[in-house]
Amino acid sequence: MTGQQPPHSETFATAPPQALSVTQLNHQIRFLLETHYGSIAVEGEISNLAKPASGHIYFTLKDSKAQIRVAWFKSSVGRYIPKHGDSVIVSGRLSLYEPRGDYQLIASSVRPAGEGALQQAFLALKEKLELEGLFDPGKKQPLPSRITRIGVITSSTGAAIQDILTVLKRRFPAIEVLIYPVAVQGENAAPQICKAITLANEHASADVLIVGRGGGSLEDLWPFNEESVARAIAASQIPVVSAVGHEIDFTIADFVADVRAPTPSAAAELLSPDQQEYMQTLDQYESILWRAMGKILQEKSMIVEHLHKRLRHPGQLLTEQNRRLDNLQEKLARAIRQSLYQSNQMLILQHQRLMSHTPDETLNQLKKELNRTHNSLLQAIRLIIQKRSEALRANARELNAVSPLATLERGYSITLSQQQTAITSLSQVEVGDVIETRLHQGRVLSKVEKKLNG
């Protein structure tokens, strides 16, 4: 007893003042059962098994003389799913289903009744083989670094082979799979597994073997705890990966095998490279190559740019000569205008003097003097123009030797920035800049709307 008082404890007096209701009685009986009995284990045979959609399991546990109802709720149900006629050990607590007054056992776990003997046999064989050195890590073979063919020893209709094939198809479908179909539970399972291991070694057709099956009870997995199977795995010249049951399941085969995988899917993952990793590696190599090429191109571009700065482009020389010619033309025009202005001023002055004295002879002399002066001035101007033109033609001949004008005549052009420098790279212009394109005949002004690489 826990020391707790049941509800309506006053009804347990020697002379109850009034009768109990059925609800009160069932409630008190339930309280007594749950507080008097702790966790208990009951062995019996399953009958009247029911598995409703809720996920709970209900059955009757019986022996030759009595029976008790059992409720195994979904939250406690484990990997082992009982079936009608199984001999099991049910652990749990006693209770009462009050609406019907049914006395029942609330199960916390259900396990096959024969697992205790199997567990003892498992531990005995494990100790024996361990003493013989079959579990010695130094005797285990390493897995091949490159696997092209995998032999799978399992049931051809079980979930394990489907899981393995699904993983291999996803990760690396180029790996060939040889299936050695065997029984994986029952009396014939161990001999078939041993025969398949021997056959695979005789043919030497696989790089590695997977020996295993899906999950189950200790009894279901027992063929992989047989001594004959353990010795067949140990004698295999082909590396063996055991993949028996779920991650928490351990068999003798797991200890003897060269590598243990927690599940068949994990075995396939272990033995197959990930094709996505291969693709990522190739992408990385491609990136490294592109970076190396970019670095080389950048270095070469810096060398070219350095040489370009040292070498003056003929177009730059032509531009400078054109500027000089423009300056000379402007100076000549100013000189002519200045000379004409001075001559005009002198003419006005003489005309004023003439008008004030009006001597015809003096006027004639002055006109002649004016004509001579005018002719001398024109001759001087022509001489200056002739000398300047000859110098210009000489400069033009020199420039033509290095000028791209001949190239311009063939349809090419030179593009200049607003600063009148030749544009050779996108970095010299921005969207919205006005640029000048010099053709063989004439010039074109453009506005940059878009920059395109390549």
Residues 6 or more apart from 332 whose CB is under 8 A from it?
A: 384, 385, 388
Cα–Cα separations (whole angstroms), residue 437 to 323, 411, 420, 421: 17, 12, 10, 11
pLDDT tens-place string over residues 67-99: 999 999 988 887 778 888 888 888 888 888 888
Q: How many CB atoms lie within 10 A of CB 199?
A: 13
pLDDT computed for residue 100 by the predictor: 84
CA angle 325, 330, 334 (to 5 degrees): 145
pLDDT tens-place string over residues 146-202: 899 999 999 999 889 999 999 999 998 889 999 999 999 888 999 999 999 999 999
Residues 6 or more apart from 272 whose CB is under 8 A from it?
A: 147, 167, 168, 171, 172, 175
Q: Kindly indicate the confidence band of residue 129, based on its pLDDT and cuts at 50, 70 and 90.
A: very high
- Tell me if 96 sits within 8 A of 103, measured CB to CB: yes
Residue 127 has pLDDT above 70, yes or no: yes
Range in 356-360, 386-390, 433-437 the model is least confident about = 356-360
134-167 burial, b at 16+ Cβ within 10 Å, e below that, comes to bbeeeeeeeeeeebeebbbbbbeebebbebbbeb
- Tell me if 73 sits within 8 A of 110, measured CB to CB: no
3-class DSSP string for the chain: CCCCCCCCHHHHCCCCCCCCCHHHHHHHHHHHHHHHCCCEEEEEEEEEEECCCCCCEEEEEECCCCEEEEEECHHHCCCCCCCCCCEEEEEEEEEEECCCCEEEEEEEEEEECCHHHHHHHHHHHHHHHHHHCCCCHHHCCCCCCCCCEEEEEECCCCHHHHHHHHHHHHHCCCCEEEEEECCCCCCCHHHHHHHHHHHHHHHCCCCEEEEEECCCCCCCCHHHHCHHHHHHHHHCCCCEEEEECCCCCCCHHHHHCCEECCCHHHHHHHHCCCHHHHHHHHHHHHHHHHHHHHHHHHHHHHHHHHHHHHCCCHHHHHHHHHHHHHHHHHHHHHHHHHHHHHHHHHHHHHHHHHHHHCCHHHHHHHHHHHHHHHHHHHHHHHHHHHHHHHHHHHHHHHHHHHCCHHHHHCCCCEEECCCCCECCCHHHCCCCCEEEEECCCCEEEEECCCCCCC
Structure tokens at 63: 């022996």
Structure tokens at 182: 């065997």
Q: Kindly indicate the confidence band of residue 2, based on its pLDDT and cuts at 50, 70 and 90.
A: very low
- Tell me if 218 sits within 8 A of 118, measured CB to CB: yes
In angstroms, rounded to a whole number, what is the distance separating the alpha carbons of residues 113 and 60?
16
Q: What are phi and psi of 179, to 5 degrees?
A: -100, 125
Q: Do 9-113 and 117-273 share a fold? A: no
pLDDT computed for residue 231 by the predictor: 95
pLDDT (average), residues 281-306: 87
Highest mean pLDDT of the ranges 31-40, 117-126, 296-305: 296-305
- Tell me if 418 sits within 8 A of 447, measured CB to CB: no
The residue with greater pLDDT, 193 or 403, is 193
Amino acid sitting at position 191? P
Sheet holding 259-260, edge to edge: 176-181, 149-154, 208-213, 240-244, 259-260
Give 9-113's CATH code, choosing from 3.30.70.3040, 2.60.40.420, 3.40.50.1400, 2.40.50.140. Answer: 2.40.50.140
Structure tokens at 3: 């020391």
Give me the chain's average pLDDT, please: 85
What crossing angle do the helices spanning 314-357 and 360-402 adopt, rounded to 10°?
A: 180
Write out the CATH class of domain 117-273: alpha beta
Ordered by start, the domain boundaries in the chain are: 9-113, 117-273, 314-403, 406-454
- Tell me if 420 sits within 8 A of 316, measured CB to CB: no
Q: Kindly indicate the confidence band of residue 454, based on its pLDDT and cuts at 50, 70 and 90.
A: low
pLDDT (average), residues 124-135: 90
Q: Which residue has the tokens 């940059």?
A: 448
Strand 240-244 and strand 102-112: pairing?
unpaired
In angstroms, rounded to a whole number, what is the distance separating the alpha carbons of residues 110 and 310?
92
The residue with greater pLDDT, 315 or 341, is 341
pLDDT computed for residue 103 by the predictor: 86
Strand 240-244 and strand 259-260: pairing?
parallel
- Tell me if 243 sits within 8 A of 211, measured CB to CB: yes
pLDDT (average), residues 288-312: 84
Whether the CA torsion 183, 189, 192, 193 is positive or negative: it is: positive
pLDDT computed for residue 9 by the predictor: 45
In angstroms, rounded to a whole number, what is the distance separating the alpha carbons of residues 258 and 210?
11
Share of the chain above pLDDT 90, in %: 31
